Amino acid sequence: MSVDLIRSSFVACLLALAGCGDSAPPAPLISGANPYEGQDLTGAPNILLIVADDMGYTDIGTFGSEIETPQIDALAAAGMIFSNFHVAAACAPTRAMLLTGVDNHLAGQGSMMYLAPNQRGQPGYEDRLNDRVVTVARLLQDAGYHSYMAGKWHLGAKAMQGPPDRGFERSWWLAEGVAPHYSSDGLSPPHHYFDGLEPTEESVDFFSSDAYTSRLIEFIDRNRDSGRPFFGYLAFTAPHSPLQAPKELVDKYEPIYARGWDVIRAERYRRLQNSGLAPAEQELPPRWPEVPAWDSLSETKRAIEARKMALYAGLIDNMDQNIGRLLTRLRDIGEYENTVVFFLSDNGAEHVDPEVLDALIMKALLLGSDNSYDNMGKPGSFVFAGPPWANVSATHLRGHKGLATEGGIRVPLLVSWPGRVAAGLRSEQLSMAIDIAPTMLAIAGIEHPGTEYRGRDVVPPSGVSLLPYLTGQTETVQRPGSVGYELAGHQAQFYDRWKALKLRPPFGNDQWQLYDILADPGETTDLATQYPERLAALVRDHEHYLQNNGVILAPEGYDALSAKLGIRDVLALIFSEE
C-alpha cells in the first residue's frame, strides 16, 4: 500500500482522534413553539466567548508568561480574573459543558472516544452533543440574538451534528479535533465547512487563527445594522499541536527559549508570586520526573527544544493579535462597550511526547511529515511541545492535559464587560466550565427552559450563574454544594477550597487524596489523614455525582489509549500491507 494512499484514506481520520460523532444522527432537535418568541432584547449586550486550545495556566502575560499577549492582558485588566476556574482535561468535554451548562457525561462527551466496552453505546458516551441538551446558542437565537461560530467545533461532524443544528445562524467550522494550522499543509489539510456539511473551497492559503477571526468579523459585519445583539463563539485551534507559526514570530521567541525551560519556569513562578496568583510562601515544585535538566542536553537538542517552544509561543502571540483585531473592529463599529467577553482555555497544556508514545500510533500520526530542524513549524511538519514545556506551561501546578490534577483542569478565565464588571478584579472563587452557559443566559436576561424544550426532554444546567458575583451583587459565587468531575477514570470532587482527587495508574494508585487548592495549588501535600471526615464527605458527594450524571467507569486496568477509534487494530492492518 502506498504512503500517499494511506495518507489520503486514514491520516485525516486519525488526526480527528475524537469529535467524529457516533454513526446515528440525532433526531430533529426543534419542534413546537418558540418559548422566547417576542423576547425583549432592549439593552441586551453582545456576548463573545473566546476559547484557546490546549493552552496552559501560565501561558499569558497576566499569569506570568514571557509570551507577549497585550490584548488578552488588557481584557484581564478591564474586568475580572478567575484564578480558580476549572474545565475538563480534554477539548470536547469542556466545549460541551461551555455551550450547555451540563456535565459532559449527560451532554454526550463522557469519554471523548476513549471508550471501554461497558461504555460503548451508552447514553452520555455518544462522542457528540446528544439530544438531551440544548445549547446556549440555540436559546439566544430563539430569543432574537444573532449567533455566529468560527473555529474548532469538535462536538459532532455528521449530518445534524454541526453548529447549524445547534443554534448557530452562521458558522465556519473545523470538523476534526486536530488539524494543521496552515491550509496548505500537505500532510492532512483541515476540513472546514460553511454552515452545513459542504466543504469550503478555499482559493487562497490561510493560517488558522487569522482565518477564524476574519470569518467571525465577517459574520458580525453582515448584520451590524440589524439592531439585534450577537453571540459570537471564537474557538481557536491555537496553540494545539501540530505546532506551526509564522517565521517572524518563531525568530522573535527562539532566543528567549534558548535560555532553557528551567530558567523560564522559575521566572514565570516569580512573576506569579509577585502578582499574587501563586502562594508567596510556597516554593516552586521540582521539575516533573520525566523532565531532564536543561544543562544536561546537547547543543543540538537544546536548539530543537528552543524552536518547539518558540512555535508554541508564536501560536499564542498570533492568537493574541487576532483577538486584538476583533476587539478593534468592535470598537470601530461602536459595539465594544456593549459586549461581554469571556476568554479561557479548554484544558491544560498538552503532554504528548512522540519519543515515548506508542510507536505504531506515532508512525501513522507523523506519516509523511518533515520534522527536520529547518522545517519545524512549516507546512508538512507535525511538532509537539513535549513534557518539559508542558511543565513550564503548568509551572507550579501538578500534571497536564488528560488528568484531573490542577495542571490538567485549572485554566485562566477572564471576563470583561465595560460599565458592568469593575476593572482590575481578581477572584479565587471556585468556578467551573458548567457555569459559563448559565452566566451568558443571565446576562441576556433569558431563563433556561428547564427539563423540556420545544417538544423534547432536556437536562437543565448544573452550573450556576456568575453574574451576581461579577457585578458585585454577591460577595461569593452562590453554589449550593460540591461539584464532581470525571474523565478517563480520573476523578475529583470540589467544595470551596477543598478538592478530593483520585488518579488511575500509572498517574496514581486509585486512592482518594485531599488538597487545599488555594494554599497548595500544586497539590504537593495530601491532607487525607489530617482531615478524614472532610474527605469522606467529598467522597460521598462524589458517589452521588457519579450516579446522577450517568458516569460509567471503565474497568480497572483498562488501557484507554489502545481504544482510540480502534487505532491499534486498524493500523496493524494498514501497516502489515506495506
Q: Which pTM was predicted?
A: 0.93
Q: Quote the pLDDT of residue 370.
A: 84
- Return contacts of 205-210, CB within 8 angstroms, 24+ apart: 206/182, 207/181, 207/182, 207/183, 207/246, 207/318, 208/151, 208/179, 208/181, 208/182, 208/236, 208/237, 208/238, 209/181, 209/236, 209/237, 209/238, 209/315, 209/318, 209/319, 209/322, 210/318, 210/322
Q: Quote the pLDDT of residue 574.
A: 40
Over the stretch 442-452, which tens digit does the pLDDT of each residue have?
Answer: 999 999 999 99
| Mean of the per-residue pLDDT values of the chain | 89
Q: Which residues pair with 152 in a beta bridge?
A: 174
| pLDDT grade for 38, boundaries at 50, 70 and 90 | confident
Domains held by the chain: number: 1
- Say which range, 113-127, 192-206, 560-574, has the weakest mean pLDDT: 560-574
Asked if residue 341 belongs to a domain, the reply is: yes
Asked if residue 113 belongs to a domain, the reply is: yes
Asked if residue 258 belongs to a domain, the reply is: yes
Asked if residue 293 belongs to a domain, the reply is: yes
Q: Quote the pLDDT of residue 10.
A: 45
Asked if residue 31 belongs to a domain, the reply is: no
List all residues 6 or more positions away from 241 whose beta carbon is below 8 Å from its beta carbon: 54, 178, 350, 352, 382, 383, 384, 385
What does the angle CA 29 – CA 31 – CA 37 come to, to the nearest 5 degrees? 110
In 3D space, the residue among 173, 175, 179 whose CA is nearest the CA of residue 157 turns out to be 175
Instruction: Give the DSSP H/E element, type plus range, for residue 414.
Output: strand 410-416
| pLDDT grade for 186, boundaries at 50, 70 and 90 | low
Q: Is the pLDDT of residue 577 over 80?
A: no
Q: Quote the pLDDT of residue 247.
A: 95
Asked if residue 55 belongs to a domain, the reply is: yes
Q: What is the mean pLDDT of residues 70-76?
A: 98
The more confidently predicted of residues 24 and 429 is 429
Looking at 105, 154, 181, 240, which residue is catalytic? 154
Has 91 been annotated as catalytic?
yes
Looking at 20, 91, 146, 240, which residue is catalytic? 91
Domain span at residue 315 reads 3-22+49-575
For residues 190 and 187, give the distance between their C-alpha atoms in angstroms, rounded to a whole number: 10
Over the stretch 324-334, which tens digit does the pLDDT of each residue have?
Answer: 999 999 999 99
Asked if residue 34 belongs to a domain, the reply is: no
> What's the grid cell of residue 576?
502489515
Asked if residue 143 belongs to a domain, the reply is: yes
Look up the CATH number of the domain holding residue 177: 3.40.720.10
Instruction: Give the DSSP H/E element, type plus range, for residue 233.
Output: strand 230-235
Q: Is the pLDDT of residue 142 over 90?
A: yes
